[in-house]
Chain A
Amino acid sequence: MNPDIKEKPNQIFSGILEEAQRRKNEFEADSAPKIHIGVATCGIASGALETKKAFEEALDEQNIKARIHTVGCIGHCYAEPVVVIDYQESGFPPIFYPEVTPGKAKMLVKFFLKEGDPRLEHVLGATQENEMIPSVMEFSRFNQEKRVVMEKCGHIDPEDIYDYIADGGYTALEKVLRRDPVEIITEIQESGLRGRGGAGFPTGKKWDLARNAKDKDKIIICNADEGDPGAYMDRTLLESNPHQVLEGLVICAYAVGAEKALVYVRSEYPLAVKIVTKAILQAKELGLLGKEILGTSFNMDIEVFQGSGAFVCGEETALIQSIEGYRGMPQNRPPYPVHKGLWGKPTVINNVKTLASIPPIIKKGAAWYREIGTENSPGTAIFSIVGNVTHPGLVEIPMGVSLKTLIFDICGGIPNKKKFKAVQIGGPSGGCLPAEFLDTPIDFDSLTEAGAMMGSGGMVVMDEDNCMVDVARYFLDFTQKESCGKCTFCRIGTKHLLNILDRITIGEGKPDDLNMLQTLSEDIKSGSLCGLGKTAPNPVLTSLRYFLDEYEAHVNEKRCPGMTCRKLTAFYIDLEKCARGCDACVGCCPVDAVFTTSNRKKGIDQILCVKCGECMVACPPDYDAVMTVSPPELAPVIERPKEAVEKSK
């Protein structure tokens, strides 16, 4: 029996909780308006810091007292910078404002905070039910989500541990410390939680294996080496709610019997590094980390290790190699890290999202967690949805929701009246699924069955203007560059795949190429040493399976159906649509390929054109006269008038 098990709540924690409550009450009792600004990396990139400065200046100028509360990311990338203004005295509920530029910030201070007019034309919705303004919860982007891991993201200040504690943070840890470690592992096993790093290995089982490993000296690693193009869930979590991850880490260490943990985060995430480092210090100060945690006999320390940006170091054996100071190259498994990991010690490596799922499971119980999601994939999935969707961003949904619901209902579908073509799930290791698969439920097994994979949660939505060969080429280019170079199949095989795809996209594909792509991909998949090589051909295999016609069009007809591959596409101007006297396209052409025809309309010199597409962007939507065509020979020939030829000389 664990000597720490006590019925009574922990006295030290009660003191911390009281202090957190006191601070929260003081903040809430203050009648001054509160301005919550999202300042995670995505918000900052959209100008949140300038917005914050504009608020501060305007408040100063107008001599208004208000409290600015910096929070993390709420996941609504399309609306950044996001600001919520809670001005109780105005009589309005807290209001969610999207895309708050510095100008808008100054305007809101002047009209809302000074004169009480919330400027409804700029409002997305209220964050509470009320009778005056429609609540954001009426939008499916809000109400169809189920937030377990990201519940507090965008609501609390990630740099203030008391914010997290006042919102129920670290109560799971307090609860855990009064229980037997084995009970915790059983609870996690019963919850059915599967690793969110991509492979979906049962977390409880991993912990159990590590707990029963012979070596007493154990290590826990939080894997935040997120590197898929277009995926940023782990970064957002670390930047918006680092303590939930740390709490999960401490609980894991307690359950497994470890005293040492590392957060392996890539150095390209400077803000995440800074926030996690600060969070560790704060937790130590309060005695939630370090020696004799909350007065018990349990000791535990967390260090931050910065990865150097190699994608392959997300693979657990390569990650361990890189911490030990070697080249980040994967090793053969077994031995698995739970038996022989970092410095030869039993090591549990869990993804950020897996660890952040732990505190809610402990607090609300395994049965509660099991009710979310599906039988074999309980819980929620977090996706970063990017590409051709109206409302991109981070979405947390219960497992089992269909791709259609996620893309069309929650994320608003495809913008600009375009048609859906494919969705790429699971990053460079995943696959492209066509429209027939939109009814596929999102869970580990269904996605794998369809040829994609859960991966770490990157999702790229593509409309009809995308070329699937080019998409496969893009991902292969990525994996080929990120291959560590250790094993034959991945090192040389992916290079050949990429070369063949390169050839096809410039119209030099040979009839045998498609066969070669298929067999070589299959061999790389079965022959490679690590997960990177084993999954690298997936984008090729799935696009060959579902979009073979596009490959054939490239190879046999030298035609790109998505009109994306430059060599196989031509831009021309539809003279029926082109407006006399408009010069928009002429000015933007970097190579002077656009000329004026004899009747003052425009034409494109196909020899000079570099197919940058600038003219298409510049052409006013009313005319929409710049067209693309593939193969390029089909572009109508518009003669350049003689004097124009003279002039251009």
Chain B
Amino acid sequence: MVKLLVDDKEIEVKKGTTLLKACLENEIYIPNLCYLEEMEESVASCRMCFIAIEGEEKPVTSCTVKVTDNMIVRTDTPAVRRLQRSAFRLLLSTHHVDCRNCPANKRCELQRIAKLLKVGLKQKKLEQILKDTAIDESHPCLDYFPNRCVLCGKCIYVCQKQNGKAVITFAKRGFDTVVSFYGAGDLSAIPCGACNSCVEICPVGAITKKA
């Protein structure tokens, strides 16, 4: 076991645990979108879970750091909050905020983070840039909403895990990156009818079952 100090609170966790997991297990919430406990390696793509470790010059992502004995951690320094707010505003600048009509309303991870960071969901600092396609309906039983998606990649991971071979994948690149269904030849062979993993795991309601 390893003992460390997070925001002046002493916690004890198993050796080899990531800092993010250690905090979450001890009910210290750190904003995160792409982290899944069962993943072998952290994806570290959402850039939300910054924390400050004493002795380190800059905030680091807590999902990529393993705990060490006597580590002194702060989760709310100005530098940490600045990076988190900045990343969060960037995500919101590509997010179509329409909570009332969103299935994720009230369980949405973005709402939770907004509350913690005290950033309004309708941020005004950055220009809103939405994608042209509001709904990708190409999948026989799922709909995908690019302007809700935060590209955390959890859906692809669980799909792969559940079905051996993922039915969905990242497509295009850079700013245009989306999650996409790559039309398997025989549509009756896809497992999506009975499986609901991607819909359930999505933190923002970007994938829904077709009505």
Contact = CB atoms under 8 A, between A and B. Distances in A.
B82 interface: yes
Interface in B122-168: 125-127, 129, 150-151
B173 A310 contact: yes
Interface stretch (A31-39, A411-419, A521-529, A641-649): A521-529
Contacts of B172: 485
B31 to A, nearest CB: 12
A520 interface: yes
Given A332-B42, A520-B86, A526-B59, A499 B175 contact: no
A273 to B, nearest CB: 23
Contacts of B42: 332
B45 A499 contact: no
Contact of A332 (B48, B58, B64, B127): B64
Nearest to B169: A327
Interface stretch (B67-75, B87-95, B196-204): B87-95
A491 B50 CA distance: 18
The CB with the most chain A CB atoms within 10 A, among B50, B87, B127, B129, is that of B87
> In which size bucket is the chain B interface?
20 to 34
B94 A526 contact: no
A489 B173 contact: no
Contacts of B93: 492, 496
Given A496-B127, A499-B129, A332 B41 contact: yes
Given A489-B90, A492-B94, A523 B173 contact: no
B114 interface: no
A388 interface: no
Q: Is the interface of A mostly helix, strand, loop or mixed?
A: helix
A529 B47 contact: yes
Contacts of A484: 173-174, 177
B44 interface: yes
B26 to A, nearest CB: 23
Contacts of B150: 488
A637 interface: no
Nearest to A490: B174
A496 B93 CA distance: 9
Interface stretch (A7-15, A143-151, A389-397, A475-483): A475-483
A332 B44 contact: yes
A529 B127 contact: no
A483 B173 contact: yes
Nearest to B63: A332
B127 A488 contact: no
B83 interface: yes
Contact of A487 (B47, B173, B176): B47
A404 interface: no
A520 B93 CA distance: 13
A523 B82 contact: yes
A449 to B, nearest CB: 17
Nearest to B126: A496
B170 A485 contact: yes
Contacts of A327: 170
Contacts of A480: 174-175
Nearest to B66: A334
Interface in A501-558: 516, 519-520, 523, 526-529
Interface residues of A, number: 29
Contacts of A640: none
Contact of B175 (A485, A489, A519, A529): A485
B22 interface: no
A486 interface: yes
Interface string B93-106: 11000000000000
Contact of B83 (A491, A496, A516, A523): A523
Contacts of A282: none
Nearest to A312: B173
Nearest to A334: B64
Contacts of A204: none
A310 B173 CA distance: 10
B175 A488 contact: no
Contact of B45 (A488, A516, A519): A488
B46 interface: yes
Contact of B47 (A310, A481, A489, A519): A489
Given A310-B173, A332-B44, A480-B175, A499 B127 contact: yes
Nearest to B86: A523
A527 B176 contact: no
A486 B45 CA distance: 6
A331 interface: yes
A74 B172 CA distance: 39
Contacts of A494: 175
Interface string A456-493: 00000000000000000000000011111111110111
Contacts of B61: 332
A529 B174 contact: no
Contacts of A519: 86
A487 B45 contact: yes
B173 A492 contact: no
B86 A527 contact: yes
Interface in A412-469: none
Nearest to A485: B177
A488 B46 contact: yes
B78 to A, nearest CB: 13
Contacts of A499: 127, 129
A565 to B, nearest CB: 20
Contacts of B46: 487-488
Contacts of B82: 523
A363 interface: no
Given A332-B64, A483-B175, A529-B45, A488 B91 contact: yes
B49 to A, nearest CB: 11
A496 B82 CA distance: 17
Contacts of B174: 480-485, 491, 495
Given A495-B129, A499-B129, A488 B87 contact: yes
The CB with the most chain B CB atoms within 10 A, among A310, A487, A499, is that of A487
Interface string B170-195: 10111111000000000000000000
The CB with the most chain A CB atoms within 10 A, among B44, B86, B174, is that of B174
Contacts of B86: 489, 493, 519-520, 523, 527
25 contacts: A332-B64, A483-B175, A484-B173, A484-B174, A485-B151, A485-B170, A485-B176, A485-B177, A486-B45, A488-B91, A488-B150, A489-B87, A491-B174, A492-B91, A492-B93, A492-B129, A492-B175, A496-B90, A496-B127, A523-B82, A523-B86, A526-B83, A527-B87, A529-B44, A529-B47
Given A488-B45, A495-B174, 19 more contacts: A327-B170, A332-B41, A332-B64, A483-B173, A483-B174, A485-B170, A485-B174, A487-B45, A488-B48, A488-B87, A492-B91, A492-B93, A492-B175, A493-B86, A495-B129, A496-B93, A499-B129, A519-B86, A529-B44
Q: Report, nearest first, the 9 A-B pairs whose CB atoms are least far apart.
A: A485-B177, A523-B86, A492-B90, A483-B174, A332-B44, A495-B175, A488-B47, A487-B45, A486-B45
